[in-house]
Amino acid sequence: MNIDEILGEQYIDWKVKPVMHIEGKYGFRIVLKMSDGNEKIKQKSGFKTKTEANKERNNVIADLTNGTYIINTKIKVGPFMLFWLEKAKKPNITNDSYVAYSNAINKYIIPALGNMYLTSINRKNIKSVYKFASKSTTTGIRLIETVLKTSLDYAVHKKLLIKNPTLNVSKKDKKKNTWIVNVDSTKTLSLEQVKILVKASENTRIHMQVIFAVLMGLRRGEINGLKYEDIDYTHKTLKIQRQLGVKANSNKKDFAPKTYTKQEIPTKTESSNRELIIPDYVFEEILKEKEKYNKNKKRYQNKKQYGFQDLGYICCSNLGRPRSRSYASTHFKQLLKDNNLPDIKWHDLRRTYCTLLLKNDFSPKAVSKMMGHSKELITVDIYGDNKEIIEDCLEELEPYIDEVIPKEKEYDFSEDVDYIIALEDYIKDLKILHEFCKIAI
């Protein structure tokens, strides 16, 4: 019987037979009347004494009465995890998340637990997965933890488990009561290296992508999905409300050439939909990029063969076409090499942004909210007004931006921005800057 059929099994009545001798020991039988009218007989045996058998019989009666009795106890973790991924999760997540979940399941969870029965796994087994995974990954353990918790919550909901064995199993430091955060200096840039990178990127094709990642902490898909319409030019804020990627459960052949990975899709989580205040330097660069956009629009809009696509994306080609997921990475690697910077991954720019703030004692609540995480990176759950959290953090964040780009520039405004926005000095207290920089530099 496959898992689909097992999930459809429901009992509407039951009877538990008295304890009896079974093969030289004690046991009892359970008669379940199923919703399809058939009867299913289950047997529990192998008890050495009649007292032990009666104790277990009472437990079974309690589970049947409470509706928590598990009909099928022979489902293995491996088949269940694959079923959950394909049938329960895939229809509701992005393609990128699906790939990440699949990797966590096939590379770590199944090798560690795959042959065990779902009903037999316990907290010790869960910890063994984390231990197994820690040999080859540190950042991926949080994803593995999420996959295990949500999949086993599903198993409980579908009455394949009585309770979730991941509950109260964490990687907390009991003395400090904080999450253990491993910061690998080889995978993040120092503040001085960030300054070099931003400056070096100014005359490259990926300048906007770089500053959105390292100065605002945006994800790659979020950056590619940014549009000029997402900007409030009066209040200098940016709404994150979409990303570009592959639509869930889609087929490449149904899309026009070179568009399959550039579809507008929802952000990673509901918490990823957020509004951020734009740092001065980033705002100036957006205005310059908008001016280029308008010039290219005029230049190419009447071209028959290579017409301009006025889609409004901030990060786009000269013809207005959105960038692919891999576009920035190729140029990024060369940029690092040319400037003698560490050979990090693109996503490490986002990690750099987060790490520089957290290791200098910036509010985890504010950093978490600005990065679009559903939970805080360290300890406290998110409470309070979102806008207030972001504004509270800005006073601390702006010195970081100003230290990276400490000079003011004159610039031309786009023709469709018909008002002047004065440049302001956000460093209200130099002590904040010094405190921030004394470790990072």
What burial letters (b/e) apply to 393-413, b meaning 16+ CB within 10 Å? beebbbbbbbbbbeeeeeeeb
Classified as helix, coil or strand, 152 is: helix
- Domain coordinates of the chain in residue numbers? 3-66, 77-170, 186-440
Confidence of residue 330 (pLDDT cuts 50, 70, 90): confident
Confidence of residue 412 (pLDDT cuts 50, 70, 90): very low
* Cβ partners under 8 Å of residue 247, min gap 6: 95, 263, 265
Superfamily of domain 77-170, CATH level 4: Tyrosine recombinase, N-terminal domain (1.10.150.130)
Q: By the 8 A CB rule, do 191 and 437 touch? A: yes
Q: By the 8 A CB rule, do 372 and 268 touch? A: yes
Taking phi first (over 0 means left), then psi (-120 to 50 degrees means alpha), and beta for anything else, what does residue 339 get?
A: alpha
Return the residue matching tokens 């059929």: 5
* The overall pTM is greater than 0.75: no
Q: pLDDT, tens digit, for every residue of 147-164? A: 999 999 999 888 888 889
The answer to which of 62-71, 185-194, 215-224, 431-440 has the lowest mean pLDDT is 431-440
What burial letters (b/e) apply to 121-134, b meaning 16+ CB within 10 Å? beeebbeebbebbe
**Distance separating alpha carbons of residues 142 and 164, to the nearest angstrom:** 17
Q: pLDDT, tens digit, for every residue of 177-200? A: 444 444 455 678 888 899 999 999
* Cβ partners under 8 Å of residue 93, min gap 6: 101, 248
Does pLDDT of 384 surpass 70?
A: no
Superfamily of domain 186-440, CATH level 4: Intergrase catalytic core (1.10.443.10)
Q: By the 8 A CB rule, do 193 and 200 touch? A: no
